[in-house]
Chains A and B, each alone.
Chain A
Amino acid sequence: MLCAACLPAAHGFTVGITAGTRALFLQVGAGTMTGGTFNNNATPGNNSTVNTASVTVPSAQLGSGTAQAMTTSSTVTASPWDGFAFCSSPATTGQVYVGGFYRVPGTTGAAATLSVSTPASLANANGDTLVFSSIAWTSSGNGDATPTIPSGAFTGGAQTLLSVTRNTWFESCLAFRYLNTQMVPAGTFNGVATFTLSTP
């Protein structure tokens, strides 16, 4: 029996709540984390380091078509999520860690996009060029049966690597190689690949 007629002044109290905040994180090579790893609520920071992937092709191998594994200046093996040794020793494998996440309230809406952009060519001091598509990578990660970021090659332009579903974590270790399919002038050829994680 609900005694509606003899109710005293009925009230209640209201608590206003907000939705969770949006967040986006991308680490390519070196990263900065304060207080441990994400799973113990560490705080990520900006890291402006640009790691290198490089190779010196022996003269006898120039243009032989035998791919040349590249080494990297990155030393990152641990996942910033939990410190798990996700990449194998970069000093020997040349693996560059790439990982991040897209955090957003709600279940509907588009995914974030991981892309990479490269110029058409790498260039040496004399202005000689080498097409960026002559560099490819193999993707892997310890414990991953299938790599999250697919293996591939640069296209010398903007290219999409991965559609990052809302509220998911992604990571892969990219081992780069020079395809070595053409004769090129002597010199050091440089070019920058810029990875971007963008939200809708």
Chain B
Amino acid sequence: MKVRRLHRRTAAFFALALWLPAGAATYRVDDTGTYASQPTTPMRWRQLAPGRAGDHTVEGRVTVALRLNLSPWLNRPARVYMGLAPSEGEQIVATWRTQGRLQPGTVRGGGRTLVFDGVVRDPFLQESIVLDLMADGRTLERAQSLQFFFEIEVTP
């Protein structure tokens, strides 16, 4: 039993090491000035009628103008992640397309996805993304606020 526990700890240590380079620090990015094209995004059934195949997906789309303040990390190599806070009940999946300054990707509630890996060249990174949101409509019972955020990892 003791050996097993040790192995688990070792596995956890290596997983952490993969996420975070030795000595790297993570910061929340100030995204003041970021705004969504609409205050509320209506989620619509992909199939209005629940047919024989039983597709219960609801989906919505919103455009977001991002403004990330990266000035504290100017000229430093960094990784930027877009995260989505855990949602209430149903697992929300967010997928986005970009104009090219950030990488497209997908994130689930409680996770984060790499959107930038390189040297920070500008104090502010501005980007427009099209965010497609998806969930199982049967479990998305009420209106919700999805909290997105950005994290940056830099090596001192």
- Which residues of A come within 8 Å of B, CB atoms? 1-3, 6-21, 23, 25, 38-39, 41, 80-82, 101, 103, 105-107, 166-169
Most buried by A among B32, B34, B52, B139: B52
For B28, what are the chain A residues with a Cβ–Cβ distance below 8 Å?
7-8, 10-12
The answer on a CB contact under 8 Å between A2 and B133 is: no
Q: How far is the CB of B72 from chain A (nearest CB, A)?
A: 6
Question: Which of B115-156 touch A at CB < 8 Å?
Answer: 131, 133, 137-150
Q: Do the beta carbons of A169 and B52 come within 8 Å of each other?
A: yes
Q: Is the CB of A17 within 8 A of B26?
A: no
User: How long is the Cα–Cα vector from A23 to B25 in the complex, in angstroms?
Assistant: 49
Complex Cα gap A106–B135 (Å): 12
Across the A-B interface, how many residue pairs have beta carbons closer than 8 Å? 150
In whole angstroms, what is the CA distance A39 to B51 when docked? 7
Q: What distance in Å separates the Cβ of B109 from its nearest Cβ neighbour in chain A?
A: 12
Distance between Cα atoms of A149 and B141 in the complex (Å): 29
Q: B31 and A1: CB pair below 8 A?
A: no
Contacts of A25 in B (CB 8 A): 49
Report which of A3, A15, A19, A39 forms a contact with B146, defined as CB distance below 8 A.
A15
A49 to B90, CA, bound (A): 41
Count B-side interface residues using an 8 Å CB cutoff.
54
Contact A18 B143 (CB under 8 A): yes
Chain A interface, DSSP helix/strand/loop, else mixed: loop
Smallest CB separation, A80 vs chain B (Å) = 8
Closest Cβ of chain B to A23, distance in Å, is: 6
CB distance from B131 to the nearest CB of A (A): 7
B49 in contact with A38 (CB, 8 Å): yes
> Which residues of B (58-72) have their CB < 8 Å from a CB of A?
58, 60, 62, 64, 66, 69, 72
Contact of B49 (CB < 8 Å), options: A9, A81, A166 = A81
Selected contact of A12 from candidates B43, B133, B149, CB within 8 Å: B149
Whether B79 is near chain A, meaning CB under 8 Å from some CB there, is: no
Q: Is B74 an interface residue (CB 8 A)?
A: no
Closest to B136 in A: A107
CB of A7, distance to nearest CB on chain B (Å): 6
Apart from A17-B60, A169-B52, what 11 extra A-B contacts exist at CB < 8 Å? A3-B27, A7-B27, A10-B28, A14-B36, A17-B42, A18-B43, A20-B137, A39-B49, A103-B45, A105-B140, A167-B56
